[in-house]
Structure 1
Amino acid sequence: MSIASFAILPKPMWEVAWVYLRAGIPELWNRSARLAWIIMAACAVLLAILSVAMGFHYAPYLLTAQFVILLAIAAALTGAGWLRPALIMEMAAILMATFLVVPPLCSVLAAFAMPLQDSALAEIDRRMGVDWVAIAFWFRDHPLLSRVLCDVYASNLWQPVVLIVALTATDPQRLRVMITASAITLAITMFGFFLFPAMGPYWHFNFTPADFPDAVNVMPWEQPKFIEGLRNGWREMVFSGIVEFPSYHAASAILFAVAWRGVPIIGVLGILLNVVMFVSTVPVGGHYLIDLYVGAAIALVSLALAKRYYRATDRIPPLEAWTRTRDGRRFLAALRKRPIVSALIKRTLKTSSKEAATA
């Protein structure tokens, strides 16, 4: 439906939508990933200030309008009592906000041209007994495995979408914690990138794309070009991952693995996928090993902070897991009759306290 089409809708329909919107805004905020929104708002303000101060031009009017529409839909759905669809819309809005704010802010931070830390990071790896050059050559000598790792590495593009849909049904509170922990992790990794910028080991050890003819991911060689340009006065936003230390990819693997624990049946497959993604971050993403350790530590701290925040600030019960509702229990009970599915289901079906009280 086009925007012009709304002009011919019956007035009562507009009035009902407006009533739902006004009623849904406060309730959406109470149920939302509030801390994630606070972090994104702070990053957006910082981005606006630094963009003006450093001469960056950034005006994503269309994407911002789409973002506002998503939030309005989420609020209206909440006001109408359709809480799970509202949750999906809110999470989609957070993903869009992240895309609008985080890569541009990383671009601005790169332009500060703090001293590069590749030598220090490579030295830390060496002291831990890691031969990064040997790892890179082993990776090159196994082209089939390299392609598999590249595909797994790229799964961070679609995993959030799948997890949003799955956890909206099975464990909404886990979804909110994961999204919030992701926002905290992003903020910390951007701060780390500002203080400890690096080009990556492929650049540090003077590897070229010709040394890895079967490499699918070319970002380890493109990333230094972007950073170099920004450090030398280029004032265009880069919408690609340029953060080397700490590794947000490694942190994502931890966050996603914890999130997949809340998905029945296929959750174990998601956990295994992220174990492989964590490992792939070194050869495919071009990260030092210390990047992974620090990224993983940040993810675990962020998860703890997110859980603590919602335990302390929630004033209404979180949205109940669908698997604990009457329909959800019936659906999973039917699946348990299948031997393969029964072997994968780890969680015992529980009757919600609300249903037990009304039974």
Structure 2
Amino acid sequence: MAVAMLSQLVGPSRIASSADTDVAQQAPPRSVATTDQLRGLQPRSAMDQSGWPARRQPAKVRSNGTDAAQIAATLQLLRLNWIFIAIILAAFISAVLLTDFRVRISSYLILLGIAGLYGSFGYLNIRSASRNPRIFSILFVLPQIILTVALITSLGYIAASARFPMQDATLLAFDRSLGLDFRACLDLVNSRPWLIMVLVNCYGSIWAQLCALLILLSLAGQSRRAAELVLAVGMSLAATAVISTLVPAIGVYGAIGLAPEDYSNIEPTVYYHTLKQLPLVRDGTTRLLDAFELGPVMTFPSFHAISAGLYAWAFWPFRWLRGIGLIWNALMLAATPIWGGHYFADVIAGLVVAVASIYAVNRIGTYLTRSEYPRQGARHSSFRPPQHEWCAVRRASDFKEIAMMRPAPDGPQESSAG
């Protein structure tokens, strides 16, 4: 009784006494498993001094792909990318078997071996207790993009041998119907050496930008965007292979009868490669495919224009790089007709394909993310899953477990018994 009276005088603070000790010993123990689970699901910085998860998180919650649902959606996207690559590989093997094309097997085995090595390390990181989305994302997206580009470009060679009628005249007529003059643009650039230096560097950055973006997105916690970028590149490149097969073209330089002396300061190397390779593929001369010697044989739509749109979208999550990414890729887009020998129609079609691919992967990513939130979690409106990518929430069923957990009080319950 004395202990109860003293507790009323001093307020709600705890008083260490023998009576409290006796009550604490009689109180039923809390579940040790529940405590351990919660400790394993929260980072060390989110624990208070008693070892329980802190009631308030001062860190700003950002939708940057680092919460559990985003990680699960990223894994689903990466798995979808592997399925897409497997389908493309099956189509490539079937096309080789059904046509007179041959492959230098060693070149493709090297790519497959590198992809398998990276993928194995990525899988081990996912299965480990300390998995890190930044690590396994890099280990997956880099080999995925290498295989995607190599396989679809190889399929583009085989598809180009279908020998559909050339459409250079049609594409040139479309440009002129829009009032677009390639010769005027060429003269403008050719007379300005400083502009040539800027445009040639932007145009040549297509693959360096892609690899840098995939690494940067992964390291910045944008794992989902990195996986979406791989899928968008694959979808757009596959669309390019199909469309260019039906609408084959070489380029605008030959269509308007330009000679090298008309653009003495410019060397459109990509156009020259298409001018050399595409006729050899169409007449049956080129029938050996080497993964390390593939070049551009697809003109319509322009893949540089597609890449400019995709890269600008990929840069968007970074406020400090957004403007640079937009300007750089706008310059790459401007350089595409000159250095690629593309019609303006190629550029317009490339942007349309890029927008369609972005829309498609956004819908897929959003659907996968939403599907990872369990239906049971909607019943607990006050519950918010941990927003840290290193947390141990790995399955949708974990959300229900966490939502039903209630932390034990910091100390023994006070009793009014004397």
In the superposition, the TM-score normalised over structure 2's length comes to 0.66
In the alignment, structure 1 residue 279 sits paired with structure 2 residue 334: yes
1:263-302 matches, cutoff 5 A: 263-302=318-357
1:233-244 matches, cutoff 5 A: 233=284, 234-237=286-289, 239-244=294-299
1:152-191 matches, cutoff 5 A: 152-170=202-220, 171-191=222-242
Once the two structures are TM-superposed, the CA of residue 236 in structure 1 deviates from its matched residue by 2.6
1:21-47 residue CA offsets vs partner (Å, 9 max, x unmatched): xxxxxx798344344333332222221
Alignment match of 2:96 (pick from 51, 62, 84): 51
In the alignment, structure 1 residue 219 sits paired with structure 2 residue 270: yes
Q: How far apart, CA to CA, are the structure 2 residues paired with 1:173 and 1:61?
A: 28
Contact 1:201 1:287 in 2 (8 A): yes
Contact 2:138 2:218 in 1 (8 A): yes
Contact 1:257 1:271 in 2 (8 A): yes
Contact 2:149 2:234 in 1 (8 A): no
Alignment match of 1:143 (pick from 171, 193, 196): 193
In the alignment, structure 1 residue 251 sits paired with structure 2 residue 306: yes
* Larger Rg belongs to: 2
Q: How far apart, CA to CA, are the structure 2 residues paired with 1:201 and 1:105?
A: 24
Cα distance change on mapping 1:70 and 1:245 into 2, 3 Å: same
Once the two structures are TM-superposed, the CA of residue 325 in structure 1 deviates from its matched residue by 5.4
1:6-85 matches, cutoff 5 A: 30-58=75-103, 59=105, 60-80=108-128, 81-85=131-135
Greater relative contact order, per chain length (Cα 8 Å cut-off, separation 6+)? 2
In the alignment, structure 1 residue 131 sits paired with structure 2 residue 181: yes
Once the two structures are TM-superposed, the CA of residue 86 in structure 1 deviates from its matched residue by 0.6
1:302-341 matches, cutoff 5 A: 302-314=357-369, 315-316=371-372
Q: How far apart, CA to CA, are the structure 2 residues paired with 1:216 and 1:152?
A: 14
1:224-259 residue CA offsets vs partner (Å, 9 max, x unmatched): 210000011121335112211011110110110011
1:178-217 residue CA offsets vs partner (Å, 9 max, x unmatched): 2221211111111101100100101212324343332244
C-alpha RMSD of the superposition: 2.5
Three-state SS of the structure 1 residue aligned to 2:320 is coil
In the alignment, structure 1 residue 116 sits paired with structure 2 residue 171: no
Query: Residue 146 of structure 2 corresponds to which residue in structure 1?
Result: 96
Q: How far apart, CA to CA, are the structure 2 residues paired with 1:177 and 1:263?
A: 16
Letter of the structure 2 residue corresponding to residue 140 of structure 1: N
1:119-154 residue CA offsets vs partner (Å, 9 max, x unmatched): 000000000001122222222222321221011001
Q: How far apart, CA to CA, are the structure 2 residues paired with 1:326 and 1:303?
A: 25
Letter of the structure 2 residue corresponding to residue 271 of structure 1: L
Query: Residue 202 of structure 1 corresponds to which residue in structure 2?
Result: 253
Contact 1:203 1:221 in 2 (8 A): no
Query: Residue 339 of structure 1 corresponds to which residue in structure 2?
Result: none
Q: How far apart, CA to CA, are the structure 2 residues paired with 1:96 and 1:177?
A: 15
Q: How far apart, CA to CA, are the structure 2 residues paired with 1:274 and 1:77?
A: 34
Q: How far apart, CA to CA, are the structure 1 residues paired with 2:74 and 2:329?
A: 31
Contact 1:88 1:165 in 2 (8 A): yes
Compare 61-70 and 211-220 and name the one that shifted more.
211-220
1:84-137 residue CA offsets vs partner (Å, 9 max, x unmatched): 111001011112212330221111111111111100000000000011222222
Number of residue pairs aligned between Structure 1 and Structure 2: 298
Once the two structures are TM-superposed, the CA of residue 263 in structure 1 deviates from its matched residue by 2.0
Three-state SS of the structure 2 residue aligned to 1:197 is coil
Q: How far apart, CA to CA, are the structure 1 residues paired with 2:225 and 2:349?
A: 23
Q: Could you tell me which runs of 5 or more consecutive residues in structure 2 were left unpaired when the two chains were aligned.
A: 1-71, 374-386, 391-402, 408-418
Query: Residue 23 of structure 1 corresponds to which residue in structure 2?
Result: none
In the superposition, the TM-score normalised over structure 1's length comes to 0.77
Q: How far apart, CA to CA, are the structure 1 residues paired with 2:226 and 2:74?
A: 15
Q: How far apart, CA to CA, are the structure 2 residues paired with 1:207 and 1:262?
A: 42
- Runs of 4+ residues over 4 Å off in structure 1: 324-327
1:40-75 residue CA offsets vs partner (Å, 9 max, x unmatched): 322222211111222211122222111111111111
Q: How far apart, CA to CA, are the structure 2 residues paired with 1:287 and 1:325?
A: 46
Three-state SS of the structure 1 residue aligned to 2:216 is helix
